[in-house]
Amino acid sequence: MKRKNIMYIVLLLALAAITVVPFLQPAGAKISGNGTVQLINLEGGFYGIAGDDGLKYDPTNLKKEFRQDGLHVHFEGRSTGTVNTRQWGTIIDITRIEKLP
């Protein structure tokens, strides 16, 4: 019975690592790319950027004029090196953003 509990704990830790580790980038890491702004209906709703590279970005400071579901953008920013309860993508501070055609 004790061995079974240890196996469950190891499995839970492994699962936690799989879900959190992909989002972690060193604080200050430069990030740039193209992507599509999406309204995410999770935890009260927020806007994220689904990158053309297949990665997800959770901007902390997306300006109101860019909060348009489906808007294609080019963005530059820096990773905050943190995680939040949403665990939707890499948390970034946008330093530059522009609409794409």
Rounded to an integer, the average pLDDT of 72-84 is 93
CA dihedral angle for residue 49, residue 50, residue 52, residue 56, rounded to 10 degrees:
100
Average model confidence (pLDDT) across the chain: 86
| 44-61: pLDDT as tens digits | 899 999 999 999 999 999
pLDDT above 70 coverage of the chain, percent: 82
Size (the chain), residues: 101
Of 90 and 43, the structure prediction assigns the larger pLDDT to 90
- Residue 94 to residue 97: CA distance in whole angstroms: 7
The residue assigned the tokens 């808007």 is 71
pLDDT of residue 22: 47
Q: Where are the domains of the chain?
A: 2-99
| 17-37: pLDDT as tens digits | 544 444 566 888 899 999 999
Cβ 21 vs Cβ 69: under 8 Å: no
pLDDT above 90 coverage of the chain, percent: 60
pLDDT of residue 87: 83
The CATH homologous superfamily of the domain defined by 2-99: NigD-like N-terminal OB domain (2.40.50.500)
